[in-house]
Every structure is written in C-alpha cells, then in structure tokens.
C-alpha cells in the first residue's frame, strides 16, 4: 500500500462491542508525534483519576509512530496504559512482525485505543484500514504459541498470565519471541477479555523522498559501534559487561558478580545458538536456541534475571526458564526477581515451600504457579514482590522503584544509574536512561551536574525516539533525533524542536503520575541498595542517601519542577503542555 501520513485513531469499545474511526486532534499530533507521546496524551484524556488499572475504565493504547513501516531497523509498537503493577503510567515496546503488519493494516490510523471490557474472550482483527471484533472463546487458556498458530497474519496476544491478571503479564507476539514486557500491559489486556489483536497487512511503501534518508541511517548504523555490537552479540553481552563492572545482580541482589557468568553469557549463547532471528547481516536479531519448551530467543534479561539472579549457571536450564515465561506471557525480569524473593524468604524460614537458588526445577514450577495463580505463594507473587512481601510479612529483599523491580544493573556499581532508576517514569527501568556505560568510563571525572545532565538528556532523547517508535539500536546512532526522517516525510521539525518535544512528553507523563498520587517519595531508593556490595570491582559500594537527595534536588531544578517533583506552571507554559483544567486543579491541590 502507498504511504499516507497517519492522523486517525481506531476506537474499540469492548463493552459496547463497537469499533469506530476518529481524527486525532491536530494539536496533539504536533505536540506529541505518536507512540509514547500520543499514547500518554490519550491516557490523560481517557482514564479517570484513580481508575483501577484492571477495571473497564482503564485504556490500553496500541500506538505506532508517524513513520512505522518505513523506518530503518526492526519496526516496533508501543503498548500504553495505566500499570497494574505500579499504579502509574506504563509504556512497553515490542518488535517483530506485528508492528510492521499493523502499520499496513491500519492505513491512515496511528493508534488503536481500547476501552471497556468484553463479556467473553475476544479478538480484534485489523485489516484494510478497518477492524472488527470476533469471538475467541476457543483460545481461552492458550499460550502465546497456540494463539499465534490459530490465526493468519501477525498476532499480539496474552497467554495464561494475562488472563489470570498477573500484574506483570506481557503482550506477546510472534508466538512469544517478542513482548511488550514490563509493568503488566498483558494483565490490562487480559482484564478486558481481549485475547488477541490480529493484523493483516503489508508494510506501507515509504514516502518517495524518504528512501534516501532510511538508507543513510541503515548504513550509518551498520558501520557504528552499536551496529557492530548488536550484530555480534545482541543484548546478551550485557551479562558479561555487568559482571565485569561488578553490577550483575546475583542471587537476589546479594552479590554483584556471578562465578557462573561465563556459562550463561555471550559465548555460551553463541555456542548453543542454532541461528539468528533475521536473515540480515547488519541486523540479525537475537540468537535462536532450542530448549525443552521449543525454540526460544533469550535476550540479555533472560540470563541476568533467570540465570545470575537465581544462581543458575546451566545455560540450557536458563533458556528453558525463559521459554516458559515467553509462552505463558510473563515478564522475565519480574519473574526472576519474584523467584529470587521466594528463595530468600524460604532461606529465612518465612515459607513452607522449598525454593532455593541454583534449582531450575523449583524456579520453573513456581513460575507456572505464578502464571496460573495456582497456589497461595504463586497468587501472592503474581501481584509483584512489593505486594507479596506485605502479604507474607517479610522483608522485600528485592530492590524496586514505584513497585517495579530493578532489572539488569546494580546501581551501587554506578550511582548515576540510581538517579535514572528513581526518576524513571514507569518504575525501575534501565532503558529510560542508561548512563552506566558513560559512568564506568568517566569514573572520578564526573560531577553531580554531569550526572544529572546525562540522565535528563537521555530521558528526553528517548521520549522522542519512543514517540517515533524507532528501533532502539538504530535510535542510539541517530544524531538528529530523526529530524531527517521526519523532514523527508513532510514534517517541519528541527533537532532543537524535537528535543523540546521530548521534554514536553516527559513532563506530560510526570503530570499523569502526579495526578495519580505519586510524589517525591516515589522517586526514592529501596533499602537493599544502602547495603554495601560484598564482592567484585564494586565491593563496599553503596548508595549514600544524603548524596542521592542532593542529586534529586538538582534533577528537579534542571527539569523545572518544584521540590515535590511537580512541574511548575512556568514549565508547563514554556512547554505548552495542554492538560485539562480538571488536571490543573488536581495539580494545584498537590502543591
């Protein structure tokens, strides 16, 4: 199909069983681009303050970018909603075949806005610029691979974990090879009885003037350090890097290095791999591995959370655990942290179930219990570590921010990561800003101003790229924030205007979180990070709370937020953030 500038949204009301098309307000298109930005603006407009994330009043937005289908690299989509894990804003991203076919199927639409709740399991089928709902009763209980096999076209679906409203359930695509993972978008989808979204369409032809810009970006990526690293190692080499700097969370965050890292790191993955995900030398994608659960593609989070995090040094066992999570539709990072929490609680005598580090069978059984909420322990852990600790009356053990468990890097080995985690808009996330590499190189040369600048600038930059919904790897090599791409497609933008757009989007999301009751206290660090690391290059390192408070004050000041973390009226006016009067009234009451 020929490319047209997308400017409409499909509205799906599952309660009424209707699908309608509407124009996206033009000011929103100008201010927020697409993806994360437009998704956040719709969330402000659609979701009442204090709405239950698993209730029908919550919205789930499947968001593309203005150039999805034409961008270099792997195409991606954003799932935007209010998180059932954190009770705040959530944007999760996934690649694979689904976003490319969705772009072709949607035509002039950029978003699918889903509200309400269906009475029975339902599928949404999108093709030829239109969509319809159809029954999916026969797929109740099916895993991601089973749902994918049931349809022609590309499928995004929930597995048993989403149906059972596990608060960190994923939206799976390509049979479980790709996931909109962290924060529980799959639980929201499951709560709406939306089993699957099926897209049937070829990727749109890019604008005539865009081909050269796309080709230049693809060549620049292939020749970049990031491109060569991705082609050689994908994200699995994160295991080796984190271990080298002493920031590899091991045995439930009790250590910073893992003696079995070589057995689950990049060399182990290469040795076990049967091929790569894509037939593309420049961007071959992940490593395909055979496991007892079938073919799986372990990303870096799999050996970190399900390997080192659980003290398991058998790569085959780690790959199988990852495949179990993928089929059931469970986020591997929180699943690994949940099992690690259970192992520490068991060791301290708080559980009547034997869960131990280094035991892959116990981990597999517990993950299945969590996905099905089949036991008291599984049911408690299905709500996340913070909620489980409260139910079980134990220490939390596992560090979290805004109730989302920390992922790949232990910030005690790189303190600027602590600021990045704490100020992340969706909870602990290593993708909002990842200054750990810069800090490792800069060492003692960094000032507090440098640390704050690194976090703010990367957060704003990623807000732009995630509103374009660009490939994460390609985005890291783009110097102009996609200006050349957008201008080739007829958009009047500059790098400076796009950077301001990123700041506007970050501020808009902060306003949503403040509206939902989040305060400075939610930007704090968990107690486990104040304990010194016992081993590795970062042995003895800890987070100094007094120094962190200074950094947070500097961060708020740089952002134009008050001491409570609320964007000031001057900042809102400068950025032209168009929240409603009701939202402004709510904000004034929190100041």
Nearest to 368 by CA among 390, 395, 342, 335: 335
SS3 state at 445: helix
Identify whether 215 is part of a domain: no
Domain end call among 376, 398, 420: 398
Q: What is the pLDDT of residues 280-314, one digit of tens each?
A: 877 888 999 999 988 999 999 999 999 999 999 99
**Phi, psi at residue 473, to the nearest 5°?**
-70, -45
Same domain assignment for residues 373 and 439:
no
The confidence band for 220, taking pLDDT boundaries of 50, 70 and 90, is confident
Q: Are residues 241 and 386 in the same domain?
A: yes
317/456 same-domain check: no
Q: Tell me how many domains the chain contains.
A: 3
Among the listed residues 422, 436, 412, 424, the one whose alpha carbon sits nearest the alpha carbon of residue 529:
412
Using alpha carbons only, give the angle 414, 416, 418 rounded to the nearest 5 degrees.
Answer: 85
- What does the CA dihedral 187, 473, 554, 561 come to, rounded to 10 degrees? -50
C-alpha 298/C-alpha 263 separation (Å) is 14
Would the pLDDT of 528 be above 50?
yes
Structural domain includes residue 107: yes
In a domain, 431, yes or no: yes
Q: Given this model, what pLDDT does residue 1 score?
A: 53
382 in a domain, yes or no?
Answer: yes
Let me know whether 393 and 418 are in one domain.
no
- Between CA 183 and CA 170 the distance in angstroms is 8
Distance in angstroms (rounded) separating the CA atoms of residues 15 and 191: 12
Q: Are residues 349 and 382 in the same domain?
A: yes
Range of the domain at 580: 411-590
Tens digit of pLDDT for each residue in 424-475? 999 998 888 877 667 666 666 778 899 999 999 999 999 999 999 998 888 8
- Taking the mean position of all CA atoms in its chain, how far away is CA 169? 12
231-280 pLDDT tens trace:
899 999 899 989 998 989 999 999 999 999 999 999 999 999 999 998 88
What per-residue confidence (pLDDT) applies to 24?
97
- Say what the pTM is: 0.95
In a domain, 406, yes or no: no
Which band of pLDDT confidence, cut at 50, 70 and 90, is reported for residue 589?
very low
Give the residue from 371, 398, 425 where a domain finishes.
398
CA–CA distance from 463 to each of 71, 438, 443, 509, 588 (Å)? 17, 20, 27, 10, 26
Same domain, 268 and 140: no
Q: State the Cα–Cα distance between residues 319 and 312, nearest whole angstrom.
A: 11
From the CB of residue 240, how many other CB atoms can be counted at a distance below 10 Å?
A: 18
**Assigned token pair, 474:** 């390609």
Q: Are residues 318 and 257 in the same domain?
A: yes
Same domain, 244 and 362: yes
Mean pLDDT within 349-374 = 96
pLDDT score at 535: 86
Mean predicted lDDT score pLDDT of the chain: 92
**CATH code, domain with 439:** 1.10.599.10
- Whether 44 and 190 share a structural domain: yes
Instruction: Compute the distance between CA of residue 437 and CA of residue 429 in angstroms, rounded to an integer.
Output: 15
**SS3 annotation, 33-57:** CCHHHHHHHHHHHHCCCCCCCCCCC
Regarding predicted confidence, which is higher, 12 or 212? Answer: 12
Domain termination site, one of 370, 398, 426: 398
Q: Is residue 403 domain-resident? A: no
Residue 224 resides in a domain? no
Q: What's the half-sphere exposure (Cβ side, CA atoms, 13 Å) at 24?
A: 28
Shared domain for 290 and 184, answered yes or no, is no
515 lies in a domain?
yes
- How far apart, in whole angstroms, are the C-alpha atoms of residue 395 and residue 66? 46
Q: Which segments of 23-130 does DSSP mark as H helices, in order?
A: 26-32, 35-46, 97-106
Per-residue pLDDT of 50-71, as tens digits, reads: 999 999 999 999 999 999 988 8
Task: State the CATH number of the domain containing residue 107.
Answer: 3.60.9.10
Q: What is the pLDDT of residue 440?
A: 61
- Calculate mean pLDDT across residues 371-388: 97
- Is the model's pLDDT at 2 over the cut of 80? no
Q: How confident is the model at residue 209 (pLDDT cuts 50, 70, 90)?
A: confident
Residues 307 and 190 placed together within one structural domain of the fold:
no
Check which CATH number belongs to the domain holding 324 and give it: 1.10.569.10
Same domain for 372 and 421? no
């Amino acid at each position: 199909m020929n490319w047209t500038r997308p400017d409409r949204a499909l509205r799906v009301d599952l309660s009424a069983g209707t699908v309608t098309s509407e124009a996206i307000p033009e000011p929103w298109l100008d201010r927020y681009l697409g993806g994360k930005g437009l998704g956040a603006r719709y969330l402000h407009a659609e979701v009442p303050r204090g709405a239950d994330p698993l209730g029908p009043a919550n919205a789930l937005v499947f968001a593309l970018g203005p150039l999805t289908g034409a961008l270099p690299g792997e195409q991606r989509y954003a799932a935007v909603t209010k998180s059932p894990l954190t009770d705040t804003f959530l944007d999760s991203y996934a690649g694979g075949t689904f976003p490319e076919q969705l772009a072709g199927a949607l035509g002039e639409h950029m978003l699918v806005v889903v509200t309400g709740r269906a009475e029975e399991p339902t599928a949404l089928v999108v093709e030829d610029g239109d969509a319809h709902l159809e029954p999916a009763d026969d797929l109740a209980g099916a895993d991601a691979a089973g749902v994918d096999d049931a349809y022609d076209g590309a499928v995004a679906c929930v597995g048993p974990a989403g149906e059972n409203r596990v608060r960190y359930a994923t939206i799976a695509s390509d049979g479980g090879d790709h996931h909109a993972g962290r924060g529980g978008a799959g639980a929201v989808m499951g709560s709406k009885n939306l089993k699957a979204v099926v897209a049937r369409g070829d990727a749109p032809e890019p604008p005539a003037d865009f081909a050269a810009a796309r080709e230049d970006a693809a060549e620049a990526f292939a020749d970049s350090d990031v491109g060569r690293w991705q082609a050689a190692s994908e994200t699995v080499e994160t295991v080796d890097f984190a271990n080298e700097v002493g920031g590899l969370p091991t045995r439930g965050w009790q250590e910073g290095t893992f003696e079995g890292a070589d057995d689950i790191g990049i060399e182990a993955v290469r040795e076990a791999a049967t091929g790569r995900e894509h037939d593309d030398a420049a961007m071959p994608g992940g490593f395909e591995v055979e496991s007892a659960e079938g073919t799986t593609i372990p990303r870096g989070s799999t050996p970190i959370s399900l390997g080192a995090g659980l003290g398991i040094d058998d790569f085959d066992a780690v790959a199988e655990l990852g495949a179990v999570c993928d089929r059931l539709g469970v986020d591997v990072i929180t699943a690994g942290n949940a099992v690690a929490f259970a192992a520490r609680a068991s060791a301290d005598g708080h559980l009547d179930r034997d869960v131990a580090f280094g035991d892959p069978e116990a981990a597999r059984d517990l993950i299945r219990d969590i996905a099905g909420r089949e036991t008291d322990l599984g049911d408690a852990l299905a709500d996340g570590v913070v909620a489980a600790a409260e139910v079980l009356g134990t220490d939390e053990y596992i560090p979290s921010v805004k109730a989302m468990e920390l992922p790949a890097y232990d910030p005690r080995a790189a303190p600027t990561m602590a600021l990045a985690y704490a100020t992340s808009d969706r909870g602990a996330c290593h993708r909002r800003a990842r200054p750990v590499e810069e800090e490792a190189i800069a060492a003692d040369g960094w000032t507090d101003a440098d640390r704050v600048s690194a976090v703010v600038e990367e957060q704003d930059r990623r807000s732009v790229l995630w509103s374009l919904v660009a490939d994460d790897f390609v985005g890291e090599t783009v110097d102009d924030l996609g200006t050349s791409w957008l201008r080739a497609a007829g958009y009047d933008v500059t790098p400076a205007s796009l950077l301001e757009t990123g700041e506007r989007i970050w501020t808009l999301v902060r306003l949503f979180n403040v509206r939902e009751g989040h305060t400075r206290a939610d930007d704090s660090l968990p107690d486990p990070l104040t304990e010194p690391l016992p081993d590795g290059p970062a042995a003895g390192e800890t987070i100094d709370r007094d120094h962190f408070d200074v950094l947070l004050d500097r961060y708020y000041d740089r952002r134009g937020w008050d001491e409570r973390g609320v964007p000031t009226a001057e900042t809102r006016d400068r950025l032209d953030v168009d929240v409603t009067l009701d939202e402004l009234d709510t904000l004034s009451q929190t100041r």
